[in-house]
Structure 1
Amino acid sequence: MKIRINHLETIMNSLLRIGLLAAFTIAPFWVQAQDDEKEPAKKEPVVAAKQYTDEIKALAQTPSVKKALAMFPEREAWTRQNLITLTEIPAPPFAEEVRGRAYADMLRKVGADSVWTDEAGNVLAKRRGKSGNKTVVLEAHLDTVFPAETDVKIKQRGDTLYAPGVGDDTRGLAMVLTILDVMEKTGVETDADVLFIGTVGEEGLGDLRGVKKLFNTPGLKIDSYIAIDGLGSTSITHRGLGSHRYLVTFKGPGGHSSGSFGLVNPHGALGRAIYYFTQDADKFTKQGVRTTYNVGIVGGGTSVNAIPFESNMQVDMRSESPEQLAGIDKLFQAAIQRALREENAMKRLGPDLTVDIEMVGDRPSGSIDQNNPLVQRAIAATGHVGAQPALRVGSTNSNIPFSKGVPAITMGAGGKGGGAHALNEWWLDDKSYLAMQRTLLVLLAEAGVR
């Protein structure tokens, strides 16, 4: 047995052409699966403590901030054009460079103090604060789930924009850019440094590699993290849904179905492993914090009359509880070893099967308390713009700061949309300026206004 942890760029490219294209043919089910990643909002209204409501109200009345808030509706046409420009630049997983260069140029043009691209491909723009004693991040991700050959040309029907990636998360990139632009145009000054960032590797097997790089960069201390992902003006993700993802490959000698009968069969081991895992996982997930599991892709074999030399599967496990995630992972590992032993015990000739277990995704769980100042400010700012705050759990770039004890939230980029991760993805401007207004208020409350 061999266990490895790898980002699997090569495998990702092939899976994009197989698994992802299959997902396009069942888009409604895929979209539902994405939506189910986040819990429904709590039924009871979410209200911030009075001190934070008062703080946001006072901040919104500061002359420079008041001017900035009023400018967002005026800048929507410009934001929309940037959205179109960026959407039409392909940004497949592990190949975000072209979009990254374009985004860096946009950040420079609106007046960031310095712009650079790190070793992972993240694009960072720094706006210096008066003291610089604190660093606040405002971030959206550059990558989409679509392979390079996907047609990402915007198609407009009425007021609605259609294109793969137009909402997730290109709208977030456009929004981050507009917030920097408006701060520059209105002269809003902060006490803390603010980093405006386009990250790589948020989607799928990218495994949050961009934000992982940020938090492993020597000399870069991040004090607050605000991610923009998803749409609308209500969601506040303050709990991280962790996940473990594996590629498991059973390997044997292979041979003729009759002439080599008695050799170990990788498919037999794979079938046993799936059976044992799902039986144990079903019992395990009926108790405790919500935990999910899925065998998403299986493959291998060459012919009906050939004993396969390889059989593989991809498995996804999720929970916001680190303990639950570790528990179901343990069951998974045990099921694989049991299946391996039993299949090898059945052989009549030839060598044993082997198994390669490759961890292709590791998103840590974590959260910040609802009473944390960052969450309270987000609740207060959402209410201030006339929206109803909705606290959620999700799998986003905020998972990494959650796991490191850094205050973080993920908020929507405004407007309405649908078809995320599907070819028919769409976005509609429905008071999307509200999302920018509330995000600016949260950012400034964290960074301090001078």
Structure 2
Amino acid sequence: MTIQSMAGGMTLESLLKDIPSLIKSLRENRETYLTDAVLLGEIPAPTFGEEERVRLALDRFRENGLDNPEIDEFGNASGILPGKVGNSTILVMAHADSVFGSEVRHVLNVGSDSISGPGIADNAIGMAAIVGLPKLLDKLGIQLKDDILLLINTKSLGVANLEGSRGFLETKQRPIRAGICVEGAEQGRLSYSGLGALRGQINLCLPSNYDWNRFGAAGAISHLTRLVSKVMEIPVPKEPKTKMVFGEIHSGSSFNTSPKSGILRFEISSEGDEVVEEMEAQVNELCEQYSLETGLEVKMEVVAKRQNCGIPFTHPLVKTTRSIMSEAGITPAVDPSTGDLNSIILAGHPGVTLGLTQAENLREANESIKLEPLYSGIAQMITLLRAIDQGLCES
């Protein structure tokens, strides 16, 4: 299959007509990216420990002849696929880090219609789509006018607070036309806004002189559960849309010893920045009150904090993305992002996040992806790249 971007420009309708044949070609050339998905996915890459996985991505960038392949001061790997003109740049990125550390056995199993194993959906297959993009475009006969800046970014998840993508965008001075964040799952995801969020950690510690005879005295786990109950009493408004999630609780080391310390991790996300601020203050007050009432050391630590940001639903980038999804047989599901899209938009660039395929058991050791939907998922990404290149996504 050969698809050329015409010098005189292409209409969205002509790009949409190419999608069925594009899906067919991506199915036929699937080894181009599935091999990389397995190789990348079998390298453990916990947040702050992505070096080996990033080095493999850089090797692929070099093998594919990208300009300026490098690993920057933040640990990100990047390279430039030159366009025919190169007056502007389209950023395409995927995060390298995973929720799984080296203690988890990273073995991926490839079946006829699926791949399973820790981190394949989040985000080994997303990375593979990025590192394999130059070879795919070459096989498809597609060359864009714009440069494509490919980025495998680090330090995206959890306490990292988007350090990799934020650092990259703050230091790389290139005329970025638009950005695409690629996630392995879930197909249909369409993010064009970033959600205001606070990720917090409550640290609870019994002092060395703790009075075990005091009324209500208990170990750290009992105190943490009481504290959770109190935090859950904080009103969560329906408008602006807001939610609080308790993600982790850690305490104790044995069956029969009352632990003296513990931590509770949570996230508050809201479409209203003022709501995040108010709920943060309320959690802080609860911690202070609980500390005074119990004699414990209870402190809340802000791990990460993000502002609401976004482009309008009516922005041509969003409208074009929806049209492409529809033609590819993908049903859009609007989902505000708390990830790297925030970095793109806060840096002043329009952007969207796309999910490539359907997944099961996300963020579990038996995580898996389906292969058949993947072909249309990558087709949507390539078609959106072509649409941006043709100026069809600008307001």
**TM-score (norm: length of structure 1):** 0.74
8 Å CA contact retained: 2:113, 2:372? no
Residue range with higher mean Cα deviation, 296-305 or 382-391 = 296-305
The CA distance in 1 between the partners of 2:76 and 2:356, in whole Å, is 19
Match of 1:394 in 2: 337
The CA distance in 2 between the partners of 1:158 and 1:194, in whole Å, is 32
Match of 1:433 in 2: 375
Match of 1:107 in 2: 61
Q: Is 1:175 aligned to residue 136 of structure 2?
A: no
Q: Secondary structure at the match of 2:269?
A: strand
Kindly provide the CA deviation profile for residues 51-86 of structure 1, in whole angstroms up to 9, marking residues without a partner as x: xxx832234579xx9997764232112322221221
8 Å CA contact retained: 1:107, 1:115? yes
The CA distance in 2 between the partners of 1:392 and 1:442, in whole Å, is 18
Structure 1 residues 264-343: aligned runs within 5 Å: 273-279=227-233, 281=234, 283=235, 285-299=236-250, 310-343=261-294
The CA distance in 2 between the partners of 1:85 and 1:305, in whole Å, is 43
The CA distance in 1 between the partners of 2:251 and 2:28, in whole Å, is 55
Judged with a 3 Å threshold, the aligned counterparts in structure 2 of structure 1 residues 440 and 158 are, in CA distance, closer, same or farther, namely closer
The CA distance in 1 between the partners of 2:315 and 2:56, in whole Å, is 36
Judged with a 3 Å threshold, the aligned counterparts in structure 2 of structure 1 residues 130 and 315 are, in CA distance, closer, same or farther, namely same
Q: 2:366 aligns with which of 424, 427, 434?
A: 424
Judged with a 3 Å threshold, the aligned counterparts in structure 2 of structure 1 residues 207 and 136 are, in CA distance, closer, same or farther, namely same
Q: Give the residue type in structure 2 aligned to 1:223.
A: R
Deviation at 1:246, TM superposition (A): 1.6
The CA distance in 1 between the partners of 2:29 and 2:253, in whole Å, is 57
5+ residue gaps in structure 1? Answer: 1-53, 345-352
Residue range with higher mean Cα deviation, 402-411 or 67-76 = 67-76
Q: Give the residue type in structure 1 aligned to 2:265.
A: Q
8 Å CA contact retained: 1:250, 1:310? yes
The CA distance in 1 between the partners of 2:255 and 2:63, in whole Å, is 60
Residue range with higher mean Cα deviation, 206-215 or 368-377 = 206-215
Deviation at 1:321, TM superposition (A): 2.7
Q: Is 1:77 aligned to residue 31 of structure 2?
A: yes
Q: Secondary structure at the match of 1:168?
A: helix
Q: Give the residue type in structure 2 aligned to 1:371.
A: T
Q: Is 1:146 aligned to residue 100 of structure 2?
A: yes
Q: Secondary structure at the match of 2:49?
A: coil
Q: Give the residue type in structure 1 aligned to 2:81.
A: R
Q: 2:317 aligns with which of 374, 390, 398?
A: 374
Judged with a 3 Å threshold, the aligned counterparts in structure 2 of structure 1 residues 230 and 61 are, in CA distance, closer, same or farther, namely closer
The CA distance in 2 between the partners of 1:139 and 1:302, in whole Å, is 40
Judged with a 3 Å threshold, the aligned counterparts in structure 2 of structure 1 residues 152 and 191 are, in CA distance, closer, same or farther, namely same
Report % sequence identity: 23
Judged with a 3 Å threshold, the aligned counterparts in structure 2 of structure 1 residues 158 and 69 are, in CA distance, closer, same or farther, namely closer
Deviation at 1:95, TM superposition (A): 0.8
Match of 1:29 in 2: none
Deviation at 1:427, TM superposition (A): 1.7
8 Å CA contact retained: 1:365, 1:402? no
8 Å CA contact retained: 2:43, 2:106? yes
Judged with a 3 Å threshold, the aligned counterparts in structure 2 of structure 1 residues 106 and 386 are, in CA distance, closer, same or farther, namely same
Deviation at 1:148, TM superposition (A): 0.8
Q: 1:243 aligns with which of 193, 197, 203?
A: 197
The CA distance in 1 between the partners of 2:156 and 2:20, in whole Å, is 33
Judged with a 3 Å threshold, the aligned counterparts in structure 2 of structure 1 residues 61 and 109 are, in CA distance, closer, same or farther, namely farther
Q: Give the residue type in structure 1 aligned to 2:12.
A: I
The CA distance in 2 between the partners of 1:389 and 1:302, in whole Å, is 45
RMSD after superposition: 3.3
The CA distance in 2 between the partners of 1:220 and 1:167, in whole Å, is 30
Structure 1 residues 2-401: aligned runs within 5 Å: 55-59=11-15, 71-231=25-185, 233-251=187-205, 253-255=207-209, 257=211, 273-279=227-233, 281=234, 283=235, 285-299=236-250, 310-343=261-294, 354-401=297-344
Q: Secondary structure at the match of 1:227?
A: strand
Q: Give the residue type in structure 2 aligned to 1:80.
A: L
Judged with a 3 Å threshold, the aligned counterparts in structure 2 of structure 1 residues 80 and 310 are, in CA distance, closer, same or farther, namely closer
Judged with a 3 Å threshold, the aligned counterparts in structure 2 of structure 1 residues 413 and 308 are, in CA distance, closer, same or farther, namely closer
**Number of equivalenced pairs:** 381
Kindly provide the CA deviation profile for residues 234-271 of structure 1, in whole angstroms up to 9, marking residues without a partner as x: 3312232332112222445323755x869998959766
Deviation at 1:440, TM superposition (A): 1.1
The CA distance in 2 between the partners of 1:208 and 1:375, in whole Å, is 23
The CA distance in 1 between the partners of 2:43 and 2:257, in whole Å, is 44
The CA distance in 2 between the partners of 1:306 and 1:171, in whole Å, is 43
Q: Give the residue type in structure 2 aligned to 1:58.
A: S
**TM-score (norm: length of structure 2):** 0.84
5+ residue gaps in structure 2? Answer: 1-9
The CA distance in 2 between the partners of 1:307 and 1:432, in whole Å, is 49
Judged with a 3 Å threshold, the aligned counterparts in structure 2 of structure 1 residues 300 and 422 are, in CA distance, closer, same or farther, namely closer
8 Å CA contact retained: 1:232, 1:435? no
Q: Give the residue type in structure 2 aligned to 1:79.
A: Y
